[in-house]
Structure 1
Amino acid sequence: MHVLLATAGSRGDVAPYTGLGVRLAAEGHKVTIVTHGAFEEYVRACGLGFRGLPGDPRETMQSAHGQRWSQSKSSAVGLFRQMKVLKSEMVNGALALAEVAAEEGPDVLLAAPLVASVGYVTAKGLGIPSAGVFLAPGYPTREFAPVLSKGGSFGPVGNLLAGRAMTRVLAMTMGSATAAVRERFGLPKIAIGDALRRQDAEKWPAFHGYSRHVIPRPADWREGLEVTGYWWPHVAPGYEPPAELVEFLDAGPPPVFIGFGSMVPGDGERLGRLAATALRQAGVRGVIQAGWADLSSVADENVISIGDVPHEWLFPQMAAVVHHAGAGTSAAAMRAGVPAVPVPVLADQPFWSVRLAELGVATPAVPMQSITADRLGAAIHAAVTEPGYRERTTALAKLINAEDGPAPVVEYLNRL
């Protein structure tokens, strides 16, 4: 089958789908990933087809609107405001996805969260099946608060009501984009609430690419919603790390990784100094990854600055991992059996921070909005000196590494 896999966002919103795509290709399917042009080289290097969407997520994060979003006290409110600002870009992106799908003529369309509603309508327009492929819980439940909350629980009724409200708000932000796609394919107009109810009535399948050992499948989810296990990013066989990094790792005890992925662009100099100070206070060596924040290099023999290095290779050699608690980086740290120090910024990151701490594989979060060298240094010291963190993460790593995350998606395609 020809599988069109659509996603949008930062590198963390693309990387897991390369692993899923490579597995589907190994099963005999033709896989084309549709996402931003900035990721074309990365996707093609995995041996997968590529089609581009307009927009550059890094430029968006670096814009004044993106900066305000990253500084919002509420991830949900910040995201809602950001998507309102990007309304015209979202419509253009939705229509571009619809055109690519019409040109490619796939047999099935798999859609990531930010393009799920558009992907669903596009598939309807083409008369082909579709499914969601999500990296975090995507549906309301009584068992925990919605992903764009700060994690934890509002109680069974509160969780469910908050989840339904969040689902409706996100659908509203995509209303203009989905309406444009409906018009493109000559589909009838439909109210947002009716569209959501119809999707549930159809039992539209949605696969969640994380481990049931991290978040069990809620008992009140409807049929068609599955928790599969992780889809690990593809790493080319024979990867060769930078020689300078290998020499640094060999020269002393395991260091602590600090990196914030695509978060906080433009604040690299301050964060670089803060990270180096925290490492010194914790008495550990450090590996600082520049990321989109462009964390500045530090003149210190106990610290090395790096660019893009696969977490699958790097994290198992760390004493602890300080990260922004995105879904993919959180998963990579757990996979490596390494304790974490979450520094959440926005979106689903506070949710994952709370969950990691509940599992006992991470320290309590040090939110980016209130981070200091003292707080970060104390958290790093706890992560590397309290044995319980390492013991619990090692045990969890064995469980999640035993799972075959792509298998349920392969089975779905086989049923089709």
Structure 2
Amino acid sequence: MTVGSRGDVAPFTGVGHGLVRAGHEVTLVTHARFAPLVRGSGVGFHALPVDPRAELESARGRGLHRSGSGAGKLLRAAGLARSLVGRITDDLIAAARTSDLLLLSASVAPLGQAVAAGLRLPSLVLPLQPVTATREFAPPLLGGGSYGALGNRLAGHGLERTVPWVFGPALPALRARLGPAAAFGPTPGRLLHGFSPQVVPRPRDWAPGLDVTGYWWPHDHVTRLPPTVREFLDAGPPPVFVGLGSATVPDPGRLSATVVRALRRAGLRGIVQRGWAGLTADGDDLLTVDEVPHALLFPETAAVVHHCGAGTTAAGIRAGVPAVPVPVQFDEGFWADRLVRLGVAPRALPLRRLTADTLAAALTRATGDPAHRERAARLAARVRAEDGVGRVVAAVERLGRA
């Protein structure tokens, strides 16, 4: 069970496919628009009624752009989530009634755990980013950085206290359907995190049971790039990929123009993914695309410019190519900082301060300094050697035997 953007969903297609191959029956419970992601995986699908893109493009969703700080934007996003949780409750219950075990993303975990408690089902939480307070860094959802050891922990515990407020509107309906056992419990003591310890080492102050497994690569039923993309790649030197995934922006035309000017100032060809931001680019040296599997495209690029969502960050690392992070919101600043620290990105360029000159300069460094590509290739080899899905499968089977 997961809710959110494509990046909140795609890794669970890989987990689901791994479980299917191990002999389990699996259903992915998420937004209807992501049903095509399970095609060919053997994973079933149960649709949730909320469309995340429609919500982000609503008046309330566009209000996120008016927040000047990470904390302000997170507060607006929490309010939006609070208004939506009641609409998915019935479908979560319906899907859970036919299940023996619930696997829950962090974005739906409090609600899913209450459903599991009401139905007396075991559950396992699978976050895609660190969600437990630690002294080592500030909560990723606040954008990364550090407030000092004590400040980091206090901020983490403060975020944990928002859970009852965000999910509280759904609790009366849950208890009416499932009885008083349906309740928000304490933070679970067993979490499997779907990122690589090469990228974020397990914090030393985390309790036992909070494990980092390695990435969960999405299941891709597409095995070839579209002909137009293949032709563009073959027509010249490796291009730069530019995409903001499921992030939305207040002025797509202005941002598209900035990207085009930067690419041309750096003397680079570009593949621009339209995404939810609505980016476009025209010219013989540019190609605008819709959804293209990152696993197929990224290894053929000179660099990837992206918003640093958890899933796109993982795909860029897996491909072994340099990055130019353009974080927009929430945990994206955290992942951008990690890429810079790992030496695979020259610097982070937050979207609010992005200009054609700063992007062109970063692209010149990312593509012109061989050290960035060499470090990216070494990191990719280590990350690809991990078996994150295998560790989740093993944990599920241990729960099944308990």
TM bucket (normalised to shorter chain) is: over 0.9
Residue pair 1:179, 1:189 contacting (<8 A) in 2 also: no
Residue pair 2:324, 2:347 contacting (<8 A) in 1 also: yes
The worse-fitting range, judged by mean Cα deviation, of 172-181 and 124-133 is 172-181
Paired residue type of 2:311? G
The one of 292, 308, 325 equivalent to 1:309 is 292
Seen in structure 2, the aligned counterparts of structure 1 residues 189 and 246 have a Cα distance that, compared at 3 Å, is closer
The one of 193, 213, 219 equivalent to 2:198 is 213
The separation in 2 between residues aligned to 1:252 and 1:7, in whole angstroms, is 40
The separation in 2 between residues aligned to 1:358 and 1:345, in whole angstroms, is 19
Alignment match, 1:233: 218
Is 1:125 aligned with 2:108? no
Q: How far is 1:220 from its partner?
A: 1.5
Paired residue type of 2:179? G
Q: C-alpha deviations, 1:65-90, integer Å up to 9, x for none?
A: 22221442333332322332443421
Q: Tell me, what secondary structure is at the counterpart of 1:216?
A: coil
Alignment match, 1:168: 161
Paired residue type of 1:26? R
Is 1:34 aligned with 2:17? no
Instruction: Count matched residues.
Output: 399
Where in structure 1 are there 5+ consecutive unaligned residues?
1-5
Seen in structure 2, the aligned counterparts of structure 1 residues 162 and 247 have a Cα distance that, compared at 3 Å, is same
Q: How far is 1:390 from its partner?
A: 1.1
Question: TM-score by structure 2 length?
Answer: 0.95
The one of 245, 250, 269 equivalent to 2:229 is 245
Alignment match, 1:402: 385
Where in structure 2 are there 5+ consecutive unaligned residues?
none
Taking only aligned residues, the RMSD between alpha carbons, in angstroms, comes to 1.7
Residue pair 2:27, 2:43 contacting (<8 A) in 1 also: yes
The one of 360, 372, 375 equivalent to 1:377 is 360
Alignment match, 1:365: 348
Q: How far is 1:44 from its partner?
A: 3.7
Paired residue type of 2:43? L
Residue pair 2:138, 2:155 contacting (<8 A) in 1 also: yes
The separation in 2 between residues aligned to 1:189 and 1:164, in whole angstroms, is 23
Q: C-alpha deviations, 1:97-144, integer Å up to 9, x for none?
A: 123212xx2110001111000111111111111011111001111111
Instruction: Tell me the percent identity.
Output: 47
Residue pair 1:151, 1:355 contacting (<8 A) in 2 also: no
Is 1:258 aligned with 2:242? yes
Q: Tell me, what secondary structure is at the counterpart of 1:313?
A: helix
Paired residue type of 1:57? P
Q: How far is 1:327 from its partner?
A: 0.4
Q: Tell me, what secondary structure is at the counterpart of 1:287?
A: strand
The separation in 2 between residues aligned to 1:350 and 1:185, in whole angstroms, is 39
Question: TM-score by structure 1 length?
Answer: 0.92
The separation in 1 between residues aligned to 2:69 and 2:109, in whole angstroms, is 23
Residue pair 2:138, 2:145 contacting (<8 A) in 1 also: yes
Superposition pairs of residues 258-407 of structure 1, within 5 angstroms: 258-264=242-248, 267-298=251-282, 300-407=283-390
The separation in 1 between residues aligned to 2:287 and 2:382, in whole angstroms, is 32
Paired residue type of 2:200? I
Q: Tell me, what secondary structure is at the counterpart of 1:14?
A: helix
The separation in 2 between residues aligned to 1:183 and 1:220, in whole angstroms, is 39
Alignment match, 2:100: 107
Is 1:157 aligned with 2:141? no
Q: How far is 1:379 from its partner?
A: 1.1
